[in-house]
Structure 1
């Protein structure tokens, strides 16, 4: 597959992933652009990977995690959330929930990425662990903590 074909086939998926992890459409576009630029630089290597799309998603996730480590980074989703693609996505209703976005914004960057990769990208613990450079048991414990935080936020929202 040539790079241009990859971008046509998977570019919007990268923007959706960027949107889901960051909560901000402009940041999602930036993350997709960063991932595509890095993939383009080493396209021969990316193309030969077992799963080129997984490789590029890993680049995007690492770019997001790197971005969150910078002192100037602040998590502030835009006031109005625009879906990243005009074609209806079955997960859009869930992902665009204001309560969900507020709760996700309270998670650490790693917790948020683990949940997005597991539940939105449907990746297994081993693949997520490989992407993040951690053990599968760390993926499971991170997901467990993040889900507990989301449950707690949901309960406090319903009690109020």
Structure 2
């Protein structure tokens, strides 16, 4: 099977504009949802996920979307702030011989976080994320197939 990059888009700095490519529009909405510190993260994130979505952090074994949502509830119970500042992002759209398209979005970010009760102590964590995306036939929206996050957690304690 022959595959080639059909399109590539690069974005520098924040914020991502309102009229970028589909993958970068997805990234803008997805980071807003994943940054939410609401008590019910599934309400903002579920439209970006499928039951088969998997998440890999720092090379550890993959976890399911359901497990991620539980972890985000725990995170949100401890943090008052969690914000991705996307420094640079890339979108690669690949065509295969059978006409199928796949979209990969990669981004460098700095996550700012603060623990509840210690809001004045903002911690900045560098992060690199790779999102493998596919269009869902039901709603024709991009969804996460796999997310691989690489982060330096040495500055986070608590």
TM norm. shorter chain > 0.5: no
More helix by percentage:
1
More strand by percentage:
2
Q: What TM-score does the superposition give when structure 2 sets the normalisation length?
A: 0.31
Q: What TM-score does the superposition give when structure 1 sets the normalisation length?
A: 0.31
